[in-house]
Amino acid sequence: MKISTITNWAYAITVGLTLLSGGAFILATQYADRERDAVETAWRLDAAVEALERGAEETTEAARLYVMKGEAQFLAAFRADVGAERTREAAVRALGEAGLPPAEISALHALEADAEMLDAIEEQAVADFENGAADVARAAVFSPQHEAAQADLLAAVGHFADLVATRTQDQLDAARAAADLWGTIAKSLLALTALVFLSVLYFVLMRRVARPLHQMSGIVRRLAHQDYDVQLVRDGRRDEIGDMNEAIQIFRDNGLERARLDAERRKDQETKDRILQLMHRLQACRQESELAPIVSLFAAQLFPALSGHLFIMNDGRTALTARSTWGAPSASRQEFASLECWGIRRGKAHFSDRSDADVRCQHLSTNAAEAGLCVPLAARGDTVGMLYFEAPGEGTALAEARVYIELIAENLALAIANLQLRDRLANLAIRDPLTGLLNRRSLDENLLRVRREETDLPAALMMIDIDHFKRFNDEFGHDAGDHVMTQVAAIMTDAAKTSGIVHRYGGEEFAVVLKGAEKHIALDMAEAIRHAVETTPVTYQGQPLGTVTVSIGLASTEDSQSAATLMQRADAALLRAKSGGRNATVTDWLPAPQTRIA
């Protein structure tokens, strides 16, 4: 029940009890007035009857004195007493007839009759005395008849007084009892009113208002400090305090929701900041190999509950290989064919788990309990790799992180595509498109690096020319000539291995830079190249092209030879080798070719 309803009811009950107690006090006052009226009436009747009795005695005394002495003063007193007695009798009659009961009225009439009889005897005696019959008058006032009339009068007065006293006492007792009763009722109602008021005051103010407000003030204070862990007391009240409790509960729930949303927003912002940092790192990479450790580092930080791989597509776009790993993924193989992944097939993120909701990728273990998410890395219409994440169980964490993973995948795909494009453009800039060897520009850069890095270690340079190359173009066509050039480039690369850097200098000429190689080592390698070219059969479309030979000019920085003149000296040695009959190695430190095969 609402406090306003309780207050209204309490107000109505208090007003009603107050009115009832007031009415009881009024009734008690009225009965007290009746008590006073009864006492006053009894007193007046007693006084009037007593005066009547005393007046009768005085009249009798005045009559006896007059008939005994005959003095005029006693006659005047008698006449005055008779008049006064008549007045008193009229007053008694007036009092008695004002609501007296029949018994008292009858007694009053008897009293009046006795008084009139006594007055008649005395007036007759006075008249007889005035007429000269003094003896008769004296005999009359002292006669037994007079004594009897006087005794009857006194008895009637006493009887009337007794009746009046009895009735008055009964009225007085009844009025006093009624006054006491209504007074008690009024006091009880007044006490009940005070009790109701105090009870309502305690119940409403203490129990229903003050105590809950004290509790709510502490709760509101904690909520004001954003302490949403405070628990509200739910007592099921349906009053204003209950409404306030409900409002505070709504405020707390809203605060909790705001705190949750703020936490999610902060977490989302932190995740986006980390992703932005990852993007900046990806954009700063200069080589594709730098991407893998960066991805594994940030993936472990962004999604600590997830594990996974970064897969890169091979050049033939037929298989994917794991380049980096974070966590401990166990469901996926680290190398598989591209068609084994439904994400690669569809070009969209694909979720795999143990349920039958969707097909499971073939590169995932069939008995794995983990759920996997495959996000293809596609940029510029080409798929360059895949991001793979896995989580234990049903993959709820994967679903929550999917948006971020796809955002990372978009930027990672673009970064990989840009780096691959950069590598292709760089290769085009520094490599010969026909043979795949480094070009003239790369040769100049390597020679410049040799000059800048002059140390105690020597360096050497081979200048190589294919002998009679024009013959292959003229006899077998330019395609065959290109094939010869490609084969010679492959032979030189294989012979040089990691000790030398092979370049295509121009046309059918090649150059090999040897860093840290002494003269005899450089010469042995030059002879190995020349011998490998000479002894390797070359065919084109099943047709033998004949023996292919090369002439080599070799120069070194050993013996304090200048690196700045390395190319000039190697080129001069090559000219000597060609002018000396070809298929030979000529150095700038020996006067004659080292090997000559006609």
CA angle 172, 173, 177 (to 5 degrees): 120
Nearest to 240 by CA among 216, 211, 208, 199: 208
Q: Do 372 and 349 meet the contact criterion of CB atoms below 8 Å apart?
A: no
Minimum mean pLDDT range among 43-57, 113-127, 138-152: 43-57
User: Is 451 found in the same domain as 417?
Assistant: no
Give domain status of residue 124, yes or no. Answer: yes
pLDDT of residue 91: 60
Structural domain of residue 527, as residue ranges? 440-587
Q: Which of 362, 413, 353 is nearest to 389 (CA)?
A: 353
pLDDT in tens, 526-560: 999 999 999 999 999 888 988 999 999 999 998 88
The verdict on 448 and 413 lying in the same domain is no
Which of 146, 175, 196 is where one domain is finished?
196
Q: Are residues 487 and 360 in the same domain?
A: no
List the CATH number of the domain containing 327: 3.30.450.40
Residues 9 and 128 reside in one and the same domain: yes
- Computed over every residue of the chain, the mean pLDDT equals 82
| Structure-derived torsion over alpha carbons of residues 57, 58, 61, 63, reported in degrees to the nearest 10 | -110
Residues 403, 470 within the same domain? no
Domain end among 196, 228, 260: 196
Query: pTM of the entire structure?
Result: 0.52
Query: Considering the domain boundaries, does residue 208 fall inside one?
Result: no
Residue 593 lies in a domain: no
pLDDT of 205 reads: 65
Q: How far apart are CA 308 and CA 377, in angstroms?
A: 15
How many domains would you assign to the chain? Answer: 3
Dihedrals φ, ψ of 174, to 5°?
A: -65, -45
Task: Give the tens place of pLDDT for each residue, 408-435.
Answer: 999 999 999 888 888 877 777 788 889 9
One domain, residues 159 and 188: yes
Q: For residue 228, is it within any domain?
A: no
Residue 251 clears pLDDT 50, i.e. is over it: yes
Whether 383 and 449 map to the same domain: the answer is no
Tell whether 312 and 395 lie within a shared domain: yes
Q: What angle do CA 331, 332, 333 make, to 5 degrees?
A: 130
Domain boundary among 394, 429, 464: 429
- Residue 570 within a domain: yes
